[in-house]
Amino acid sequence: MHPDFIDRYSRNNSPIHRMPAGVKCSAALLLVACILVSPWTLTGASPALFVLLVGTALGAGIPPGFLFRRILGAGFILALLSVLILLQPGGVEKFFTILIKSILSLTTAVLLANTTPFSEVISLLKRIRLPAVLVTVLALMYRYIFVLFDEMGRMKRARESRSFGIGHARRWHLLGTVLARLFIRSTDRAERIYAAMCARGWDA
């Protein structure tokens, strides 16, 4: 997977990327809330909104294909719930309303994530006085997702080079032991990080 797989376009440089994070976050929240409470079915407003969102994406240098793939990525639960809606009496109309609403909200969320660097979101959360523990843990988590993901990739490569493919039953066992190893390495790393943070004068 791409090493920058989460928010690949969040560090682009466009007028939209340069806007303050607070403006973008509140605009996205407001938009999602409006989409939620509005009673549309298939009227003109939703295609217009969709064009607006895709236009914003193009303006920010995010390819529409990427938006599309991200929406598909959330597709499983969306498909499951939609099928469940279709099963009930009178579900067809509700199906379209809800599907349009959730696709629009999804697009908004993907757009927000890819126009706002997460570090800016974190400093925003600090400014609105979220508990300090929460913000610090969130920042550390975001930083080390990528590191641990690489770590797991290395472990996977090492494993595959030692065992040429593996049976079905042992796959469960392997998955479990790899995760255990990853947890142990994470705690060891946390110790080193703590020492490094203290050495640099960190005070919780």
Partner 1 sequence: MHIPDGFLDTKTIVATSLFSLAGLGKALRSLSREMTSRKIPLMGLAAAFVFVAQMLNFPVVGGTSGHLLGAVLISVLAGMNAGIVIISLILVVQAFLFADGGILALGANIFNMAIVGSVIGTAMYRGIRLIAPGRWGFYVGVAAAAWCSTVVAAICCAGQLAWSGTVAWGIGFPAMAGIHMLIGIGEAVITAIVLAAVTATRPDLLSGRGPEDGNAAPLKPLGNAVVYGAIVVAGLALFVSPFSSRWPDGLEKVAARFGFDTARLSAPLMASPLAEYRMPGIGLVSVSTALAGTVGAAVVSVAAVIVVRAISRKSAKTS
Among 15, 131, 165, 201, binds partner 1 (CB under 8 A): 131
- 73 belongs to the binding site for partner 1 (CB under 8 A): yes
Residues between 2 and 61 that touch partner 1 (CB under 8 A) = 6-7, 28-29, 32-33, 35-37
Tokens of 19: 């806007």
Contact 124, 21 (CB under 8 A): yes
Residues between 87 and 126 that touch partner 1 (CB under 8 A) = 87-89, 94, 98-102, 104-106, 109-110, 112-113, 118, 121
- 187 belongs to the binding site for partner 1 (CB under 8 A): yes
The neighbour count for residue 183, using CB atoms within 10 Å, is 11
Residues between 50 and 69 that touch partner 1 (CB under 8 A) = none
What is the torsional sign of CA 73, 13, 124, 1?
positive
- Ordered DSSP codes for 72-93: HHTHHHHHHHHHHHHHSTTHHH
- Distance of alpha carbon 87 from its chain centroid, rounded? 30
Among 172, 199, 200, 201, binds partner 1 (CB under 8 A): 172
Among 147, 157, 158, 170, binds partner 1 (CB under 8 A): 147
